[in-house]
């Protein structure tokens, strides 16, 4: 099973309990996080619903800037899962191959793919 998800949705969901469930029920997953370090959906909704709100005046889009978070794959490390962060296009295919191998061997794998958009 493969889950592709953006960093905003990933961050604002119950990631830790999900990792625990993956281990407890022996459900290895490949999780690929597309990480542009912003919760873009929430940011766009702030702008859409409150175009003249306080955030528009200050530029502080609370809850949308994810630059300060640690590596997202690191949250899986305490669970003994395979983790990788990819920061170059040529590193993606080998990282996915290693992650798929880990999943085939029964371990959840998290690949945090840093993107610019």
What's the rounded Cα separation, in Å, for the pair 114 and 28? 23
**Dihedral Cα 61, 113, 17, 81, nearest 10 deg:** -150
Instruction: Output the pTM of the full model.
Output: 0.85
Q: Residue ranges of the domains in the chain?
A: 2-114
From the list 70, 72, 65, the residue with the least C-alpha distance to 10 is 72
- Write the class of the CATH domain 2-114: alpha beta
**Per-residue pLDDT tens for 50-76?**
999 888 889 888 778 888 888 899 999
Burial classification of residue 49, based on how many CB atoms lie within 10 Å of its CB (0-12 exposed, 13-18 middle, 19 or more buried): exposed
pLDDT tens string 19-51: 999 999 999 999 999 998 888 888 888 888 999
Contacts of 47 (CB under 8 A, 6+ apart): 56
pLDDT of 117 > 80? The answer is no
Which residues does residue 3 pair with via DSSP β-bridges, in sequence order?
A: 31
């Amino acid at each position: 099973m493969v889950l592709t998800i953006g960093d905003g949705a990933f961050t604002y969901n119950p990631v830790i309990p999900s990792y625990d469930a993956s281990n407890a029920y022996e459900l290895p997953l490949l999780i690929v996080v597309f990480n542009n370090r912003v919760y873009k959906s929430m940011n766009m909704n702030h702008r859409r619903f409150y175009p003249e709100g306080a955030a528009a005046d200050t530029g502080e889009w609370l809850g949308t800037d994810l630059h300060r978070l640690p590596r997202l794959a690191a949250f899986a490390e305490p669970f003994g899962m395979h983790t990788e962060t990819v920061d170059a296009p040529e590193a993606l295919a080998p990282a996915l191959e290693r992650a798929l191998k880990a999943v085939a061997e029964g371990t959840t794998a998290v690949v945090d793919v840093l993107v610019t958009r």
